[in-house]
C-alpha cells in the first residue's frame, strides 16, 4: 500500500485548492478567517500580525498597542548598528536582501538587538511586577552562557543600556505613551518603577526594555518577542540602505583615520616585494 503523503501540520494556515489546480489556493484562512475574501480590507496590519502570531484577533487595545509599538521600533536610525550594517550593503551596491540580512545579523544581537528582547522577556516571566524580585535580579551578575550556547556572554542587564547616562527622551516618551494605552500590567508598572529599576541596574532603561514590557503585556512569549523585534525594525534598515545606495560610498563614513593598528609588523624591505 502506498504510504500516506507527508503533510505540514499547522494551526495557523488552511488552504482550499482552486478547482483546476491543486497547487494554487482558492481560499486561505488564517486562524479560521478568510484572509483574501473577508479579512483583507477590514483588518489593520497590526491586527493581522497579531492574528498570525496568536491565531486570535486582538482586542482593540491590544491592536493599538502593537501598532504603536511597531511605529516606535520601525526605525532605530542610521547610528544603530543594525541599520549601519544595512547601509553597508546599500553603499556597496549589494542586493537588497543582503542589506536586510546584514540588518538581521546585527540587529539580532544582545546589546540593543532582538535577542536582548528575549532575555528581557525572561525577566518579565520570572519577576512579573514584583519590585523586590526585579531589584534582586538586577543586582546579581548576569548569568554566564549556558552549555552549547551560541551567543556570546553579556555583561549588562537586558533592557538597560550599559553605556547610558540618563534614560533618553524617546524611551521615556514611548514608555509613557504605551503605558497609557496598555491593557496589561507590565508597561504601567515599568513606567512607575523605572527610577528604582534603573538604580538597581545602575543603567538607564532602553527602547528594547520598553518593547519587552509591551510584548509581555500583549501576551507574547520570548521567541515570539524576538521574532517581532527582528521584523519590526526592518523598515528603517530598508530605507536607510536604499538611501545610502543613492548617496554612494564616497559620502558614507569610512573612519579613514579611525583605525589604530596595534601589531603592525612594519613595512616590507623592497627586495622582499
Partner 1 sequence: MGGPERLEQSEDRWTTGMGAFFPAEGRVVFRGKDLHRDCKDMAWMELLLYGITGRRFDANQTRLFEGIWTLCTSYPDPRLWNNRVAALAGTVRSTASLAVCGANAVSEATIYGHRPIIGAIDFLLAAKTARDLGGNLAEFVKDRLRRNRTLPGYGRPVRRTDERIGPVLALLGELGFPRGPHVALAFEIEDILLAHRFRLPMNIAALLAAIAADQGLSRREYHHFMILGFSAGMFPCYIEAVNQPGLGFFPLRCDRIAYEGTPARPWHTPAAGEPGQSP
- Contact residues: partner 1, CB under 8 A: 5-6, 20-24, 77-79, 81-82, 84-85, 88-89, 91-95, 97-99, 101-102, 104-113, 115, 150-152, 154-156, 162-163, 249, 253-256, 258-259, 273
CB of 107 to partner 1, least distance (A): 8
CB of 120 closer than 8 Å to CB of 110 = no
Given the complex with partner 1, which of 132 and 149 has the nearer CB atom? 149
CB of 263 to partner 1, least distance (A): 11
CB of 212 to partner 1, least distance (A): 16
CB of 5 to partner 1, least distance (A): 7
Given the complex with partner 1, which of 167 and 186 has the nearer CB atom? 167
CB of 236 closer than 8 Å to CB of 76 = yes
Given the complex with partner 1, which of 94 and 129 has the nearer CB atom? 94
CB of 264 to partner 1, least distance (A): 13
Cell numbers at residue 159, please? 533592557
Spatial distance between the Cα atoms of 95 and 100, rounded to a whole number of angstroms: 9
Given the complex with partner 1, which of 93 and 136 has the nearer CB atom? 93
Closest CA to 43 of 55, 53, 25, 58: 58
Instruction: Estimate the crossing angle of helix 222-232 against helix 60-73, to 10 degrees.
Output: 50
CB of 191 to partner 1, least distance (A): 23
Cell numbers at residue 196, please? 528604582
Cell numbers at residue 41, please? 480590507
How would DSSP label each residue in 37-58? IIITTTS-HHHHHHHHHHSSPP
**Length reported for the chain:** 273
Given the complex with partner 1, which of 195 and 253 has the nearer CB atom? 253
CB of 246 to partner 1, least distance (A): 11
Given the complex with partner 1, which of 51 and 88 has the nearer CB atom? 88
Given the complex with partner 1, which of 16 and 38 has the nearer CB atom? 16
Helix, strand, coil % over all residues of the chain, rounded to 5:
55, 5, 40
Q: Is residue 189 classed exposed, middle or buried when 0-12, 13-18 and 19+ CB atoms within 10 A define those classes?
A: buried
Instruction: Estimate the crossing angle of helix 45-54 against helix 60-73, to 10 degrees.
Output: 100
Amino acid at each position: 500500500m502506498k504510504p500516506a503523503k507527508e503533510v505540514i501540520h499547522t494551526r495557523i494556515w488552511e488552504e482550499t485548492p482552486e478547482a483546476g489546480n491543486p497547487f494554487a489556493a482558492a481560499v486561505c484562512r488564517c486562524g479560521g478567517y478568510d484572509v483574501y475574501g473577508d479579512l483583507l480590507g477590514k483588518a489593520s496590519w497590526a491586527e493581522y500580525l497579531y492574528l498570525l502570531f496568536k491565531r486570535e484577533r486582538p482586542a482593540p487595545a491590544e491592536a493599538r498597542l502593537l501598532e504603536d509599538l511597531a511605529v516606535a521600533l520601525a526605525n532605530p536610525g542610521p547610528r544603530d548598528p543594525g541599520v549601519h550594517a544595512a547601509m553597508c550593503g546599500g553603499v556597496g551596491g549589494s542586493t537588497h536582501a543582503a542589506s536586510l540580512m546584514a540588518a538581521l545579523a546585527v540587529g539580532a544581537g544582545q546589546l540593543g538587538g532582538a535577542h536582548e528582547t528575549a532575555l528581557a522577556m525572561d525577566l518579565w516571566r520570572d519577576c512579573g511586577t514584583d519590585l523586590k524580585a526585579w531589584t534582586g535580579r538586577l543586582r546579581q551578575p548576569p548569568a554566564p552562557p549556558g552549555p552549547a550556547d551560541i551567543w556570546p556572554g553579556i555583561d549588562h542587564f537586558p533592557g538597560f543600556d550599559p553605556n547610558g547616562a540618563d534614560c533618553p527622551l524617546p524611551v521615556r516618551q514611548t514608555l509613557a505613551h504605551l503605558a497609557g494605552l496598555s491593557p496589561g500590567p507590565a508597561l504601567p508598572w515599568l513606567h512607575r518603577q523605572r527610577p528604582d529599576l534603573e538604580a538597581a541596574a545602575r543603567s538607564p532603561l532602553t527602547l528594547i526594555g520598553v518593547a519587552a514590557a509591551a510584548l509581555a503585556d500583549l501576551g507574547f512569549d520570548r521567541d515570539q518577542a524576538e521574532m517581532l523585534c527582528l521584523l519590526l525594525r526592518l523598515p528603517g534598515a530598508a530605507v536607510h540602505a536604499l538611501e545610502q545606495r543613492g548617496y554612494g560610498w564616497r559620502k558614507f563614513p569610512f573612519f579613514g583615520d579611525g583605525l589604530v593598528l596595534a601589531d603592525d609588523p612594519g613595512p616590507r624591505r623592497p627586495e622582499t616585494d
